[in-house]
Amino acid sequence: MLCTILDPVNGYLLTKVEGKVGSPEKPLSDLGLISYRSYWKDVLLSYLCTRPGTTLSVKDISQEMAIHSYDIVSTLQALGMMKYWKGKHIILKKQDVLDEYIERVNRRGSLLKQVDVACLKWTPPQSQASV
C-alpha cells in the first residue's frame, strides 16, 4: 500500500502522535497563511460536522486536532463562527457554513487524498530529560 503524507497535514499528524499541539512558525507568508488556513478550515469544519452536542471548547478542539488554539480561534473568526457575547467568546455552529462545506466535500469526492494513519511508522524522539 502506498502512503502519501502532504503538507501541512504531515506536521500535524506527527505532532498528534507526539501528544503535542502544533503551529507553524510565524510570521506566515501570505501563501503560507492561505495553505494553513485551508487545512485548519477543513479540519475544523469536518470536526464541527461530525461532533454531536452543543458544548464546544477551543481547548478540547486544540487537544483533539493537535492545532494551536490561536490558529483555531483565528480560523473560526475568519469563518464568522466566533463571537464575543456577554463577556465570553462563543463558537457558532453556523449551519449555512457547514452545509457549504459538506457540499464542497461531496463535489470533490475521491479527488481528496486522505492520509492513512496506519501507514505511519514513526516514533517520537526522546528528549534528554526523559532519557
Convert the pLDDT of each residue in 61-109 to its tens digit. 999 889 999 999 999 999 999 988 898 888 988 999 999 999 998 888 7
Q: Do the Cβ atoms of 9 and 39 come closer than 8 Å?
A: yes
Q: Are 124 and 18 in contact (CB under 8 A)?
A: yes
Specify the pTM: 0.78
Residues acting as catalytic residues: 25
Cα torsion 52, 100, 29, 113 to 10°: value is 80
DSSP 8-state assignment for residue 28: P
3-state SS, residue 60: helix
pLDDT band at 30, cuts 50/70/90? very high
Task: Classify residue 83 by its DSSP letter.
Answer: E
Class of the CATH domain delimited by 9-122:
mainly alpha
Q: Please report the pLDDT score of residue 2 as a whole number.
A: 38
